[in-house]
Structure 1
Amino acid sequence: MATQDADCCYQAVLTRDSRFDGVFFVGVASTGIYCRTVCHARTPQRKNCTFYPSAAAAEQAGFRPCLLCRPELAPGHARIDAAGRLAAAVARRIEAGTFVEQRFETLAQELGVSPRHLRRVVRQEFGVAPIQLLQTHRLLLAKQLLTDTTLSIVDVAYASGFGSLRRFNRLFQERYRLQPTQLRKKKSAVGQDCIVSEVAYRPPLDWQALLSYLAGRAIAAVETVEANRYCRTVHIGQQRGWLSVEPANNRAALKVAISVSLVPVLLSVLSQVKALFDLAAEPQQIAAHLGAMAQQQPGLRVPGAFDSFEIAVRTIIGQQISVKAATTLMGRFVESFGEPMSTPSAQLTRLTPTAERVAQVKVSAIASLGIVEKRAKTIIALSQAIANQTLSLVPGGATEKTVSQLQTIPGIGPWTAQYIAMRVLADPDAFPYSDLGIRQALGETSPQRILAIAAPWQPWRSYAVMHLWKSLERKPVSDAVPVQSARATA
């Protein structure tokens, strides 16, 4: 953190400003620990404070994580500048458990930069090298699991991404000067069918708006929204299971219950939950930029994707039809090609089919479900591109390249590609300008004029889209866009 920013950082610490929670951390020389800006411990004196752009940088400087504010629970930081987005792409891979140091050159190539440049921007943004960022993320997740769950020490080590219990124990003791068992608050449970974790966000978060959006598009047998909770089936690699998400009591966090069968892929599960609910967003910054548009609902988020392929297929099926019709067709699609499974909920009985499975399906089999043959062909072409690894729908990657690749698939035009960029690629500036809902909200039909109107909203046009769609819901029924014509329904 630049020296000239130090006084501003300290002011955020004095006021416990949640806008900066996870954006930077404060190291306290008098205690040897580092904290979040929202920590409720006694405020340290300015002379004892130094500021770091990441938890990893604070630990590299010799500080240990605070046991009160728990830095492992801090929300992520959504960067929007070019260098920041590259660094954030690396952080996403680390968070999802898919980062491999030995394949760093491949990742750099995927992002369209040299490995040297990518390492430089990671250090510039986070204050440490990628491998140090990786180690800190694993250790902090382990700390969280040790504190909040009944998993054995061995399970915690492997769930956090460590390939060796010995290495985990050594790093934990070196970095935190604690034995892992010292963080245990509960005895190991026998027969427990799930673990519970928390993921934080910066308020405000319009949970009801998120839940309403997902409920209207919930896929039968895969997803349900019950009262104030979102539930779904999950398959990642060879692991199968389920999860539920609901607000935590009196905290800016979501409580995530995850079946124990998913512990081996816990990193990916938590990362995908954060993506689905857009938890890295900085809502006050976004609302300030969008101005009057965001005044009524400043906590509005862009719903992401727990399963990238699932949302991409749902988007194709939803082209030019209503939400209800698209949801019905997607339910049939899952019923026909999805793998059956058992969960504690009688409503969750199927997994979304994988790209590899759908790539082998005949066009006639998909068309027989009531899906237009042209779209059936598009779904298979998309599936084959993903299965053949010629297309990757990974959030935080090279969005422009991926959007261009999507549009080479027959049946995928700008609207579909931009909607996928919004929800699957987590691009904060995606803008499906041809959407009929956007046209209705703006009272414009000219693409050129719509793009000109939207120009001041950059780099947050995805959030502007959500506000535009919401504005239609607030209009009198007689003024609202007919459901069947709103391509925003996907």
Structure 2
Amino acid sequence: MSFDSLMTDHPAWQAAGSGRARALTLDTGAVWIVKVRGQQFTTTLIRGEQTALPLEVFSLPPVPHPQADPIHTSLAKVGSVARLRSPNLWEALATAIIRQVIRAGQARKLYREFCLRFGDVIALSDETDLHTFPSAERVLTLSDDDFTESGMSFKRRPLRHAATAFLSHGASWVDLSPPVLVKELQTVSGIGPWSAGAAVADWSNDWALYPYADLAVRTWARHANPHHHWASDEPTFGRQWRRVTGDHLATYTLLTLAYGTQQAGAV
């Protein structure tokens, strides 16, 4: 599988030597270490059964949508982008909760601190340690002080609600179609449309389900083409984005976020 770049938007990606690495936990319990250095992509199975990694490559359509000119040319410079979806629904849901309201950089910091304190450690050969995200069971054992000391006091209730709901319904959730799952997750206290859409997009790589009118897409669409008149408010931008992207909503949304990741240099 060939691609121009690997998207490292997820907060689990971190610097490792001269590249980046991520611990990837599957719903089956298998754990992989994924490393990327330039266009070199390596994987190591730490535990569990060997399975194919959930990697998908996104490329612009060869014939752009008639109204896609405001964004198509800029995104063409990004090239083909590979993205590892998060194959663990619990982690995808918890990550979306951590990302609620706060900026991406702060969410990344909180996510990593939470993993460092309460996840399993995996030592790499270059002396870099990676940490898995704590399981739903582990989260429910944490005290109020544990959340406070890790800077997550304001995420305590939604994470606990989500962990309880996942342990009760997670086995059936993974069999739902992604659009139905977005609706189902919103029955959990503390999970709204943004969190549900972001979590399911991360888990399924169906980026038509991502809340595509959010601040991140609006920011990077404007950055990619500052000369186009982009709506500033969320509802109007959402309608505009649907017109611009046509039948390729998922691809343009993902590549716009990938463009943002490259511009911001997320690690």
TM-score by length of 2: 0.74
1:67-82 matched pairs, under 5 angstroms: none
Question: Any conservation in 1 of the 2:194–2:211 contact (CA below 8 Å)?
Answer: yes
Instruction: Tell me the secondary structure at the aligned position of residue 233 of structure 2.
Output: coil
Among candidates 425, 436, 441, match of residue 204 of structure 2? 425
Among candidates 218, 238, 251, match of residue 451 of structure 1? 238
Q: Residue type matched to 1:231 in 2?
A: A
CA distance in structure 1 between the aligned counterparts of 2:205 and 2:252, rounded to whole angstroms:
14
Instruction: Tell me the secondary structure at the aligned position of residue 285 of structure 1.
Output: coil
The aligned residue for residue 53 of structure 2 is: 271
Question: Any conservation in 2 of the 1:241–1:343 contact (CA below 8 Å)?
Answer: no
* Same amino acid, percent of matched pairs: 17
User: Does residue 257 in structure 1 map to residue 38 in structure 2?
Assistant: no
CA distance in structure 2 between the aligned counterparts of 1:349 and 1:474, rounded to whole angstroms:
22
What is the Cα deviation at residue 336 of structure 1?
A: 2.2
What is the Cα deviation at residue 409 of structure 1?
A: 1.6
Greater fraction helix: 1
What is the Cα deviation at residue 434 of structure 1?
A: 4.7
What is the Cα deviation at residue 294 of structure 1?
A: 2.4
The aligned residue for residue 288 of structure 1 is: 64
Q: Residue type matched to 1:418 in 2?
A: G
Instruction: Tell me the secondary structure at the aligned position of residue 452 of structure 1.
Output: helix
- Please list the CA deviations of residues 237-288 of structure 1 after superposition, one character each: whole Å capped at 9, or x if unmatched: 565563424566xxxxx643324x44x5211xx333x1xxx23x4x242773
Instruction: Tell me the secondary structure at the aligned position of residue 43 of structure 2.
Output: strand
In structure 2, the gaps of 5 or more residues are: 223-229
What is the Cα deviation at residue 458 of structure 1?
A: 4.3
Q: Residue type matched to 2:108 in 1?
A: T
Structure (1 or 2) with the larger CA radius of gyration: 1
What is the Cα deviation at residue 357 of structure 1?
A: 1.9
Question: Any conservation in 2 of the 1:218–1:225 contact (CA below 8 Å)?
Answer: no
Q: Residue type matched to 1:265 in 2?
A: E
- Please list the CA deviations of residues 412-433 of structure 1 after superposition, one character each: whole Å capped at 9, or x if unmatched: 2111222123222221312414
Question: Any conservation in 1 of the 2:96–2:199 contact (CA below 8 Å)?
Answer: yes
Distance verdict in 2 for CA 1:420–1:301, change over 3 Å: farther
The aligned residue for residue 297 of structure 1 is: 75
User: Does residue 328 in structure 1 map to residue 105 in structure 2?
Assistant: no
Question: Any conservation in 2 of the 1:287–1:294 contact (CA below 8 Å)?
Answer: no
Distance verdict in 2 for CA 1:434–1:361, change over 3 Å: farther
CA distance in structure 1 between the aligned counterparts of 2:173 and 2:159, rounded to whole angstroms:
14
Distance verdict in 2 for CA 1:431–1:258, change over 3 Å: closer
CA distance in structure 2 between the aligned counterparts of 1:286 and 1:409, rounded to whole angstroms:
40
Distance verdict in 2 for CA 1:225–1:346, change over 3 Å: closer
The aligned residue for residue 143 of structure 1 is: none
User: Does residue 337 in structure 1 map to residue 118 in structure 2?
Assistant: yes
Distance verdict in 2 for CA 1:378–1:474, change over 3 Å: closer
Question: Any conservation in 1 of the 2:75–2:256 contact (CA below 8 Å)?
Answer: no
Aligned length: 249
The aligned residue for residue 389 of structure 1 is: 169
Question: Any conservation in 2 of the 1:286–1:460 contact (CA below 8 Å)?
Answer: no
Greater fraction strand: 2
What is the Cα deviation at residue 393 of structure 1?
A: 6.1
Question: Any conservation in 2 of the 1:232–1:244 contact (CA below 8 Å)?
Answer: yes
RMSD: 3.5
User: Does residue 464 in structure 1 map to residue 252 in structure 2?
Assistant: yes
Instruction: Tell me the secondary structure at the aligned position of residue 295 of structure 1.
Output: helix
Instruction: Tell me the secondary structure at the aligned position of residue 42 of structure 2.
Output: strand
Instruction: Tell me the secondary structure at the aligned position of residue 33 of structure 2.
Output: strand
